[in-house]
Every structure is written in C-alpha cells, then in structure tokens.
Amino acid sequence: MFEQRKKVSIIVPFYNESEGIDYFYKALCPIFSQASELDFEVVCVDDGSRDDTLNKLILIAEKDSRFHVIELSRNFGKEAALTAGIDAATGDAVIPIDADLQDPPELIPEMINEWQKGAEVVLARRADRSSDSFLKRKTAELFYRFHNHLSSIQIPENVGDFRLIDRIVVDALKQLPEQHRFMKGLFSWVGFKTVTLDYVRNPRITGTTKFSGWKLWNFALEGITSFSATPLKYWTYIGVLGAASTFLYAIFIIVRTLIYGIDIPGYASLLVAVLFFGSLQLISVGLLGEYIGRIYMETKNRPLYLIRRHYGVKQ
C-alpha cells in the first residue's frame, strides 16, 4: 500500500504587488523541485488590489495548477487576507510568506526539513534587518519589548508571519474566533513544539511597503490591546498616585494657610495642574475607548472577509 504524499500549502497575501509577481513566481518555482517528494499548493489571496495584480495571478493559476487564487470582495487588510489563506489551505503544513521577497523562499526547504524532523512550528527569525530603515528597526525593537513586558504571551523578536505551521497548529488557529486579529500574537498564543531558523532579510525587489507609520502605530496598538489588559491596570495605578499626590498637596495647603494665612494662588500653577489632570483623564478615556471599541466590534460577529471568487483548481 502506497503512503500518501504530504502536501505543503504556501499562503501569499497580495495587495497592489503587480510589479513583483513575476519575480515572486520565478523565485518560488525552484523550491518545488528541491522538495520533489512533496506536493505543493500556493494560495494567493488578492486583498482588493487596485492595479492588475489579480489579472497576473489568474494568468499564473491558468498555466500552473499548483496556484490557487482567492479574490476578496474588497481590501480587508493583511491579517484578514492571511486568515483567508489559512482557512483555504489544504496542506499538511502551511507557510505564510510575503510577496515582496524580503523573506527568502530559499529558506523553505530548511523549514520543511525541520518539520519533517518533528517540529510543529518553524519560525523564521530576522537575524539581520539592515535592509530596513533605522527608524523601522528601532520602532520594531521598542514594540517587541513593550508588548512582551505588558503581555503574558511573549512574541519572539524579529519574527514576522513567515513561518511553517503544521496542520495541527492550523486547526488550532481556526478555533480562535476574534474579529480583531493580530496574527503574530495568535501564532504565539497557540504554542506547540517550535524551532527557530535565522535568516538575512532582503530589500524589496520592487514597489514600496503598504504600511505607513500611522498604520504601523495602529497595528502595534492592536497587538498590545489584543493580548493584554495591563495598560488599564497601569492607568489605575496612575490614578491612585495622582489622587494621593492631590490629597497630600491639599494637606500642605491647609497647614500652610493655618500658619501663614491666605495668599493669592498663582494662576500659572493652577492652569498647569488643570491641564495636566485633564490630559490624564482624556488619555484614560481614550484607553478605555480602545478596549470598549474592540468589545463592540466583537459583538457584531461579522465575517473576517468575503470572497468574491476563486480561480484555479485546488489539488
């Protein structure tokens, strides 16, 4: 009786990546021949691209049966597109990877090798990020430190979505129903037996990053509020400290008045105090709003994404 061949699914979200699709296809094809004992499928998720990304992906799917294209009804964001790809993947192992080739496909055979040895998760860690700007490297470093300090779920530093996950991990991820999805955190939350491989991050072949500074800030905020309520606790401590300080200062004013009499208070100091505590209140309300807003969105229970059409045939 013949043993059934294992299949590896490669998940690739696309958003306005038309210029780099041919480069990506040419870089990926040699990987298939290096692991000829396995079957491959490539699930390409078009996340509402406004250029001709979808048309190019369809052409590839028509000539290469290993490629399967999912067209989302609009732009839902990378986390939703990645979720759509994972939901559609049929492989025994799944590898999410970006289309910009900053994460090298050449690492995939090594990841598969570790998987075949028994690893259920194979992380790809960026040992060298010199291709990224200084500001991006530093803000990423600060985010990982800040998040891991606040949250009990530790996210490995310099590890993105590029990794291999076994089918058992995929099935675990599908049990997580939240609408606001921070995939790096979800990958860490499910756990499982993990191995880490280091690699050098490449510069983009074509195009520019789709994450602006504002989007990265919101993405970081999503990660922190999705896996930790510690900021709320810290703000409670800040409130207690402020109230204690105010109480002590009130005692000081009473004692000074009893001893020296009443004087005219300074307008500047009063204004600073009012503005300072007013700002603290606004920040605390905003922080509460972030958590309440997420509760509100979760209660709607909307689908994470909508698929307009499938192209290609799944193996």
Q: Distance between CA 17 and CA 204 in Å, rounded?
A: 11
First to last CA, the chain: 21
Token pair belonging to 201:
């991050």
* Three-class DSSP category at 208: coil
Residue 32 identity: F
CA atoms within 13 A on the CB side of 128: 8
Q: Distance between CA 197 and CA 200 in Å, rounded?
A: 10
Task: Tell me the pLDDT band of 150, cut-offs 50, 70 and 90.
Answer: low
Note the pLDDT tens digit of each residue in 29-88. 888 887 777 888 999 999 888 888 888 888 888 888 889 999 898 888 888 888 888 888
Residue 44 identity: C
Note the pLDDT tens digit of each residue in 231-263. 666 666 676 676 667 667 667 766 766 676 655
DSSP string over 19-73: GGHHHHHHHHHHHHHHTTTSEEEEEEEE-S-SSSHHHHHHHHHHH-TTEEEEEES
8-22, 208-222, 225-239 — most confident range: 8-22
**Cβ–Cβ < 8 Å for 155, 144:** yes
What's the predicted TM-score (pTM) here? 0.68
